[in-house]
Amino acid sequence: MAPGLPTAMDRPHFIGIGGAGMSGIAKILAQRGAKVTGSDAKESATAEALRALGATVHIGHAADHLASDATCVVVSSAIRADNPELARAAELGVPVVHRSDALARLMDGLRPIAVAGTHGKTTTTSMLAVSLSELGLRPSYAIGGDLDAPGSNALHGEGEIFVAEADESDRSFHKYAPEVAIVLNVELDHHANYASMDEIYESFETFAGRIVPGGTLVISADNEGARELTRRLPAGVRVVTYGDSADADVRVLSVVPHGLKSEVKVDLDGSELTFTVSVPGRHYAHNAVAALAAGVALGVPASELASALGSYTGVKRRLQLKGEEAGVQVVDSYAHHPTEMTADLEAMRASVSGRILVLFQPHLFSRTQELAKEMGEALSLADASVVLDIYPAREDPIPGVTSELIVEAARAAGADVTPVHDKAEAPSAVAGMAKPGDLVLTMGAGDVTDLGPGILARLSKQSQRL
């Protein structure tokens, strides 16, 4: 039986309740019986999903949105200090709780699996949530993306396992005490919070040090950053490695693409195990193997979990098919780091025979400043790309940092790339380039995802004129 409500969280107020991480915690608290309120900048399907669970969701931020009987205010690192609801909390003396602390409290008394890494967290967390649910283990979970419907990023389950995406970007993953921790990769990212790779290694060391006694770290044997982290860990940590490397504890023997699926064969404890992953590409196959190793570390039978992993069919924005018009498929990709961009482009190249066209929206000025060259090189894997202006999210502009840095790097790498500064013009630009048999990827972590329907509509109009 899962625990009830943590003390002082029976009437929580969330500032920015519509965010992926925040909405998941709010959803679990509502399902546990809390009287949840919150605010967000704009209406969304997530806000509606929370209201359907009984939560009160205000649009816009105002001091009077915070009820006087609130027992805590939950915030993320994105909430600015001058937020009026935060100021009102200070006036009323209402405790302010970071979302990572709230999530840590939800895991109390359960068997947590915390999934960390520079990329692949949402997919791997989702694979575990879906497969463990398929086996009837009724896990709770909190994911950074929706599985198949708005609000499906979190669930209060009655079982003893809690699967959580662990965010390293602001070091909030130091708050968790997992029985099993997964580290998919360790790479330089989140440049506003980390000045060097050494700082990132130190942060991941702290995370690994939070694993409970007798617990397990599941970590990539292929990613050099992950291997370096493994070398830095004290001898007392139980480590299970996975990957292509010959010295991996769970070794990937082959990944064979079958359209948008893959057949994966692994060597686990000296026995071969073959299973299907219902999403394309080696990147996602390795995520599934990490999930398999973590479940086995918790005592789930390997053969049963391997079979159940085939029931995972994707997460919104992770190579999600948005539709097809005039013989052109439009797929949405959340990739915003060069490694992710490369992985998704290679996965699509192995799955389709036509051209690959990318509509890319850079995410964050700080990331673009540090990784523009690598982003441009990744875009050279596409047949042609359109690049939008930078999506700022929580950041203020940095002088001299624009998407032109990526365009220049892409052209230097031999890419066919076109800058488009007016987002409203992008669907027409992309649709005008597309031919039957092509695949269009809308790529980035910002609002580029909203442009897929417009591309499909323009493709439809073009075909009707022919």
Q: What percent of the chain has pLDDT over 70?
A: 95
Q: Is residue 280 part of a domain?
A: yes
Residues labelled catalytic: 121-122, 165
Domain boundary among 97, 132, 165: 97
Residue 7 lies in a domain: no
pLDDT attached to residue 2: 47
pTM of the predicted protein model:
0.76
* Alpha-helix runs per DSSP H in 310-363: 338-351
Q: Within a domain: residue 335?
A: yes
| CA 389 – CA 404 distance, rounded (Å) | 8
Q: Are residues 209 and 182 in the same domain?
A: yes
∠ CA 155-160-164, nearest 5°, is 50
pLDDT tens for 350-375 read 778 889 999 999 999 999 999 999 99
Query: How many C-beta atoms lie closer than 10 Å to residue 313's C-beta?
Result: 15
Contact of 23 with 151, CB cutoff 8 Å: yes
What is the tens place of the pLDDT at every residue in 208-253? 999 999 999 999 999 999 999 999 998 888 999 999 999 999 999 9
**Does residue 278 have a pLDDT over 80?**
yes
**Model confidence pLDDT, tens digit, residues 370-408:** 999 999 999 999 999 999 999 998 789 999 999 999 999
Q: Measure the CA–CA gap between 231 and 234, rounded to whole angstroms.
A: 8
Report helix, strand or coil for 449. helix
Q: How far is CA 273 from CA 13, 267, 457, in A?
A: 47, 6, 44
Tell whether the model's pLDDT for residue 192 goes beyond 70. Answer: no
State the pLDDT at residue 190: 62
CA distance 313 to 130: 9
Which one-letter DSSP state was computed for residue 317?
A: T
The answer on 160 and 289 residing in a single domain is: yes
Same domain, 90 and 111: no
**CATH code of the domain in which 418 resides:** 3.90.190.20
Query: How far is residue 191's CA from residue 200's CA, in Å, rounded to a whole number?
Result: 10
Assess whether 29 and 132 both reside in one domain: no
pLDDT band at 153 (very low <50, low <70, confident <90, very high): confident
The last residue of one of the domains, among 48, 79, 97, is: 97
358 DSSP β-pair partners = 385, 441
Q: Which residue among 282, 309, 336 closes a domain?
A: 309
Residue type, position 181, single letter: A
Please report whether residue 3 resides in a domain: no
Token pair, residue 61, equals 């931020």
Q: What is the pLDDT of residue 3?
A: 64
**Mean per-residue pLDDT for 246-270?**
92
Class of residue 1 by CB neighbours under 10 A (exposed 0-12, middle 13-18, buried 19+): exposed
Query: What are the tens digits of pLDDT across the range 285-321?
Result: 999 999 999 999 999 999 999 999 988 877 666 678 8
Residue 366 lies in a domain: yes
CA dihedral (106, 111, 117, 120) positive or negative = negative
- CATH number, domain at 79? 3.40.50.720
* Structural contact between residues 277 and 312, judged by C-beta atoms closer than 8 angstroms: yes
Residues 296, 323, single domain; the answer is: no
Confirm whether 1 is domain-assigned.
no
pLDDT tens per residue across span 414-451: 999 999 999 999 999 999 999 999 999 999 989 999 99
Is the pLDDT assigned to residue 1 strictly greater than 50? no
Indicate whether 152 and 250 sit together in one domain.
Answer: yes
Structural domain span for residue 225: 107-309
Do both 283 and 349 map to the same domain? no
Domains in the chain, number? 3
For the beta sheet containing 96-98, the strands, ordered from the edge strand earlier in sequence to the opposite edge, are 56-59, 37-40, 12-15, 72-75, 96-98
**339 and 450 share a domain?**
yes
> 5-16 pLDDT, tens per residue?
776 899 999 999
Phi, psi of 348, deg, nearest 5: -70, -35
Residues in the annotated binding site for ATP: 117-123
284 lies in the same domain as 184:
yes
Spatial separation of the C-alpha atoms in residues 437 and 423, rounded to whole Å: 25
- Are the C-beta atoms of 410 and 345 separated by less than 8 Å? no
CATH of the domain at 280: 3.40.1190.10
Contact 200, 194 (CB under 8 A): yes
The runs of H, that is alpha helices, within 243-364 are 282-297, 302-309, 338-351
List, for residues 52-68, the tens digit of each pLDDT value. Answer: 999 999 999 999 999 99
Domain membership of residue 40 (yes or no) is yes
CB 291 within 8 A of CB 180: no
Percent of the chain with pLDDT over 90: 75
CA-angle at 389, arms to 387 and 391, nearest 5°: 115
pLDDT in tens, 167-177: 887 888 999 99
Q: Is residue 75 part of a domain?
A: yes
Distance (Å) of CA 153 to CA 20, 123, 137, 291, 300: 7, 11, 18, 17, 23
Domain shared by 405 and 271, yes or no? no
Do residues 168 and 27 share a domain?
no
Same domain, 56 and 84: yes
